[in-house]
Amino acid sequence: MSKRWVIDLDDLITLISQTFEQNDIGVQIATETTTQVWARLQSATRAEFYSAGQNGLQPSLVAVTPIANYAGQKLAEWRGTRYSIYRTYFATGSDEIELYLEEKVGNDVENG
């Protein structure tokens, strides 16, 4: 049985960029900017699991969205879970970009 699955309907995901500034006592404070975009979500391939695993990563999902939606954000959120965007892929001649997402400890929205 294959573990690969595709969500047929488009999903709304949130892309998140962070900027950091020091406060008065020198502590880095993150400010987030969020952008909601439509994406097609699918599971990572077996080859992606293997390749990412060689680098200590654990792929969770691949989000495919029009390239115009992506501005270099490093985080994404879907259904209350935060993911790191650990790599992207843009095929020449395509108008879509693949965002490779990894769920990380401490990225869960409910846990801050």
pLDDT in tens, 16-52: 999 999 999 999 999 999 999 999 999 988 888 888 8
* Residue pair 83/102 in contact by the 8 Å Cβ criterion: yes
The dihedral sign for the CA sequence 38, 42, 45, 51 = positive
Across the chain, what does the average pLDDT equal? 86
In the prediction, which pLDDT does 56 show? 83
Domains contained in the chain, CATH given:
11-111 (2.40.10.270)
pTM value is: 0.79
Per-residue model confidence as pLDDT tens digits over 88-108: 999 888 899 999 999 876 655
* Residue pair 72/90 in contact by the 8 Å Cβ criterion: no
